[in-house]
Structure 1
Amino acid sequence: MASDNEENNSRPGSALATEPYSIFDRRQKGLIVFLVATAATFSGFASNIYFPALGTIADDFHVTVELINLTVTSYLIFQGLAPSLWGPLSDVKGRRVAYFFTFLVFLGACVGLAESKNYATLIILRSLQSSGSASTIAVGSAVIGDITTREERGGYMGIFQAGLLAPVAVGPVIGGALAASLGWRSIFWFLTIYGGIFLIILILSLPETLRSTVANGGVNPSSLVAKYPLNLYQKLTKVKFTPQPQPPKPTKRAKIDVIGPIRILFSKQAISLILFLAIYYAVWQMSITAMSVLFEERYNLSETQIGLTFIANGAGSIIGTLVTGRILDADYRRVKSKYEAPMSEVGSEAGSDRTPPTELDELNFPLEKARLRLLPILALLQCASIVTFGWTTQYRVHISVPIITTFFTGWTVVSIVSVVTTYLIDIFPEQKAASSASVNLARCLLAAGGTSIVTLIINAVGVGWTFTIAIAAQLVALVLVGIQWRFGSKWRVDADRARRQTEKEEQ
């Protein structure tokens, strides 16, 4: 479990007291975050670039828009399921191995989609495409967890989220332009070319960061896959470090724990926050899935124009997560300084019978106050933007109004994802990719259900009431944040004690 174990190597008396948490300097960390954020764009591109062409594809395959919406649903289902395999794989075999195989799956699916001849092939290959692309988010989050401490993690996660969300802004624009000029199949040829070029760049530029393999990056691994380009980063870094021997082989062979993300999802420490996030993410996906058809029917927009309407949503997502990342870091430093002040006084009191700070004190660090303060504000702002989107679209208010609401919806929901993901990486430091995969599992499966029925609900009760019902569910979900705030610290302590007891029994 979490305490500040990731910073233990800076404590006096530690075997690694003089060693940095990561040997990568600021410039190198920036490059690594850029690479993993760009890798994560493929999930968003493959999803969002597709939206402006939904009506065209339905006409081409002679099926209803509702059936084409099911390809969005299948994409979301596998976007949730696939990281449960690739995330644990990267936690055991390494980040580079996971990236290589996920991109191979993605590229194969893109070629097949470009040549698909019927609806059945389309829905199967969209699922396969999602299985490859979606896992880049879980693995990328884990890479950032590998190279950053808690104090800087929020900012880097903000940059990562901003990078991976760029497709939300530009994906539909590119998709609309390609579908209008070259046909919808050109969308998948574009993804094939883009993916193939980037895979080569990734192999040449991204170092292995899995800490069980390379520690803080100062290890010279025997595996060729892990050795390059890590050795170049070691030569060029400005951080002083001592080359370390390879970590000793564990007494037990590490297993790829496919059900690890499911255990995290249903653990007391995580389930409240993940369910809260999943509900807000699902409502967001429902709104942007419905947006294409609503703007076409109610405002008579073309494919290219529909693509342009997604820019506001993407811009809000990018700006919001960058700002939120900085606030997360500032909040953490503020809470940590308040927490450490009385702790230092304990150690300096002459003749005091009070116990000096211990690892349990660190485990009791008020992490919930440091990470979760923003969630109610973000949640209420998203509720306001969603209900405004619903009713202004219902009454065909000038299109600028619903478009502006999507800016704030994008800002808030992606900031919520950033906050919760950062918190989970903090409390599950040995299962970084698995914890991110657990978030994907819940949010994508719930979003899949939402997108599959949103058109049916709109047809039954109208756009305004559809999203009014949605925000009612969101307001109820706010209670889950309160539960985590109240009991989160106790649950972390209990889980750590249980883990220690299990380890003693196994010895």
Structure 2
Amino acid sequence: MSEADTVSAPPFTVFTSRQRTYFTFLLGYLTLASSLTATIYLPLIESLSKQYNASVLAIDLTITVYLVFQAISPAFFGPLSDTLGRRPVFLMTFAIYLGASLGLAFNENSYAALLVLRSLQSIGGSAVMSLAYAVVADISLPAERGRILGPMLAATNFGPCFGPIIGGGIVLATGQTQWAFWTLVIFGASSLMLIGWTMPETGRNIVGSGEVCPRALWETWWSVIRSSGRRERQDDYECSSNVYSEKSGKGVWSFPNPFSSVRLIFYTDTFLILWSAGSPYAVWYCIQASIPLIYGQRYGYNPLAVSLCFLSGGAGVIVGGFVAGRLMDFNYKKTAEPYGLPVDRVSGDDIRNFPIEVARSRGSYTLHVLSVGTLVGYGWAIERGVHASIPLILQFFIGARCTIVLQLYSALMVYIFPDKAGTAAASNNIVRCTLSAVAVAILQPLRDTIGDGWMFTSIGLVDGALGVFAVAVLRKWGWNWRRARTGHD
């Protein structure tokens, strides 16, 4: 591409740097719906067991069901956002989330209602991560997405830090679990207001690069009020509806096909990517699910002290989020250099002609080797009953590593399906949540059978060995498989 062509090329997005910065923090806050809702619940397990007169295994079932719906929900809402738009789906899912949270806050004695409402809460809150990845793909250049994903996901990861503290502190202070659910009601209501008033539509099939004026439901409430009585003027907004004449500024309702997300799992390259993203997520979920039992039973900590044990790993998750964002952009640039590929920061690179699989997997071997060592050390530190500081330090490194790998490969999945960002992110959610649900379901029986040492050793070896295999195959053949699939020579 000549310099003249580059100058005349239309920009990838017209959203300003300030707007993209706002999206970074808004999406970080909204994606707490997934991490905060999941982790605030973990310190409540024993209290919920007493409150609902149910066994710990029965309460664990609510966690498994939550994870099942966490996998299913994005399979509907991700593809729907690709046709209807990001904004209406955000409004829809948070309305469901808020209603379920209210139900949980008022439910005091029905285990059946707990199971159903927790499922609805998962349906409403679990699609947000897939939608957030899709929005990032809408508004940022391929070479610069790490700048948004890093801080956004670091903000998201405050959930694993503070969710357990909020849950454990509430139980210790009040002896009641309902206040934890009221906290989620407040969060859900504030999120719904922020979406309604400040989040414009970003779907590229609806507003293009942001030049097309969104209409009706796709406008922010503030824009509707501001433009009242002036709707016939094309210059009411900072966009021009005649730039992309084929786009109307409105999405199209179509019944979402969940199998469009499932279908992506069965391509060889995407299966390897999805495993590489899902396996570390499942590992980290096992760590989190085991913390209340390990530090509560083995170390004898009270609920608040147990909740503080989540902080170490949560700090690692936050650090990992920032590292992953920087690593994405750095690896992208370093991979482009030996191939002699330019990095287009105006209209964006053609990912079909870029070995993005190689870029995103740089450094993965080292991360997998470190993962095996930390998981084995973590398991045997607990098994031997060493000072609690040792497993807590290891939790930091496990959390950081799992987050870096998860984010690198989650972003890769969206990269290779740029026209189906919501669908691609949903397929990622299906795999990682399914793996987590299976892992949590067998966690306690496995722990009872072989103990903490061998359990975490087994988890580390399986995750590390299969991860290294997936990376090796993906780096060697992934780009060719993708090009063959898309029919690009």
Task: Give the TM-score, by structure 1 length.
Answer: 0.87
Cα distance change, pair 74–224 in 1 and its aligned pair in 2 (3 A)? closer
CA distance in 1, matches of 2:222, 2:337: 37
Kindly indicate whether residue 75 of structure 2 is the aligned counterpart of residue 84 of structure 1: yes
Post-superposition shift, 1:268?
A: 2.2
1:366 Cα shift? 2.0
For structure 1, the residue ranges without an aligned partner over 5 or more in a row are 1-7, 344-358, 501-507
Q: Structure 1 residue 50 and structure 2 residue 49: aligned?
A: no
Distance 1:341 1:143 in 2: 26
Structure 1 Cα separation of the partners of residues 464 and 194 of structure 2: 44
Q: Name 1:283's counterpart in structure 2.
A: 283
Counterpart in the other structure of 1:205: 198
Q: Using the TM superposition, name which of 179-188 and 80-89 deviates more.
A: 179-188
- How much has 1:472 moved relative to structure 2? 2.0
Contact 2:277/2:407, CA 8 A, preserved across alignment: no
Provide the C-alpha distance between the structure 1 equivalents of 2:237 and 2:162, rounded to a whole number of angstroms.
34
- Distance of aligned partners of 1:317 and 1:247 in 2 relative to their CA distance in 1, 3 Å threshold: farther
Cα offset for 1:448?
0.4
**Residue correspondence of structure 1 range 324-343 to structure 2 within 5 A:** 324-340=324-340
Residue correspondence of structure 1 range 361-376 to structure 2 within 5 A: 363-376=352-365
Q: How does 1:143-162 map to 2 (within 5 A)?
A: 143-162=135-154
Instruction: Write the deviation string for residues 289-342 of structure 1: whole angstroms up to 9, x where unpaired.
Output: 011111101111111111111011111111111012112101111222332369
Alignment partner, residue 298 of structure 1: 298
Deviations 1:243-265 (A, max 9, x none): 64454169xx7843322211112
CA distance in 2, matches of 1:445, 1:277: 12
Q: Which string of whole-angstrom CA distances, capped at 9 and with x for unpartnered residues, describes residues 87-117 of structure 1?
A: 1111111111011110111111112222332
CA 1:11–1:128 in structure 2 vs 1: closer, same or farther (change >3 Å)?
A: farther
**CA RMSD across the alignment:** 2.8
C-alpha spacing 1:411/1:93, structure 2 compared with 1 (3 Å): same
Instruction: Give distance in 2, aligned partners of 1:479 and 1:57.
Output: 41
SS in 1 for 2:61: helix
Name the CA shift for 1:208/1:447 in 2 (closer, same or farther; >3 Å). Answer: same
Task: Tell me what 1:216 maps to.
Answer: 209
Which amino acid is the alignment partner of residue 314 of structure 2? G
- Amino acid across the alignment from 2:55: T
Structural mapping, 1:44-443, within 5 Å: 44-116=35-107, 117-182=109-174, 183-226=176-219, 244-248=242-246, 255=254, 256-340=256-340, 363-443=352-432
- TM-score, normalising length: structure 2: 0.90
Give the deviation of 1:382 after TM superposition.
2.2
Which residue in the other structure is 1:464 paired with? Answer: 453
- Runs of 5+ consecutive residues of structure 2 not aligned to the other structure: 227-234
Tell me the secondary structure at the aligned position of residue 218 of structure 1: coil
Task: Name the CA shift for 1:332/1:342 in 2 (closer, same or farther; >3 Å).
Answer: closer
Q: Deviations over 1:385-444 (max 9, x none)?
A: 222221111111111111111111111111111101111111100111111111110010
Contact 1:220-1:245 at 8 Å conserved across structures: no
> SS at 1:217's partner residue?
coil
- Number of equivalent positions: 472
Q: Matches of 1:218 and 1:109 in 2, distance apart? A: 37
Match for residue 481 of structure 1 among 466, 471, 475: 471
Would you say the 8 A contact 1:393–1:464 is kept in 2?
yes
Residues in 1 aligned to 2:205 and 2:186: alpha-carbon distance in whole angstroms: 34
Q: For 1:11 and 1:147, locate their aligned partners in 2 and report how far apart those are by CA, in whole Å.
A: 24
Residue 226 of structure 1, CA deviation: 3.3
State the distance in 2 between where 1:12 and 1:292 align: 61
AA aligned to 1:491 is W
Three-state SS of the structure 1 residue aligned to 2:267 is coil
Rounded to whole Å, the distance in 1 between the matches of 2:370 and 2:463 is 11
CA contact under 8 A between 1:83 and 1:135: conserved in structure 2? yes
Q: Distance in 2 between matches of 1:242 and 1:263?
A: 37
Q: Is the 8 A contact 1:213 1:246 kept in 2?
A: no
State the partner residue of 1:356. none
Q: Is the 8 A contact 1:221 1:246 kept in 2?
A: no
Specify the code of the residue in structure 2 equivalent to 1:107: L
Which whole-Å CA distance do the structure 2 matches of 1:224 and 1:448 have between them? 35
Q: Show the counterpart of 1:350.
A: none
Structure 2: distance between partners of 1:178 and 1:211: 43
Amino acid at match of 1:133: G
Give the secondary-structure state (helix, strand or coil) at the position aligned to 1:333.
Answer: helix
Alignment partner of 1:62: what SS?
coil
Name the CA shift for 1:244/1:313 in 2 (closer, same or farther; >3 Å).
farther
CA contact (8 A) 2:280 2:463 kept: yes
392 and 124 in structure 1: CA distance in 2 versus 1, 3 angstrom threshold: same
Query: 2:14 corresponds to which residue?
Result: 23
Alignment CA distance shift 1:473-1:341 (3 Å): closer
Report if the CA contact (8 A) 2:320-2:404 is conserved: yes
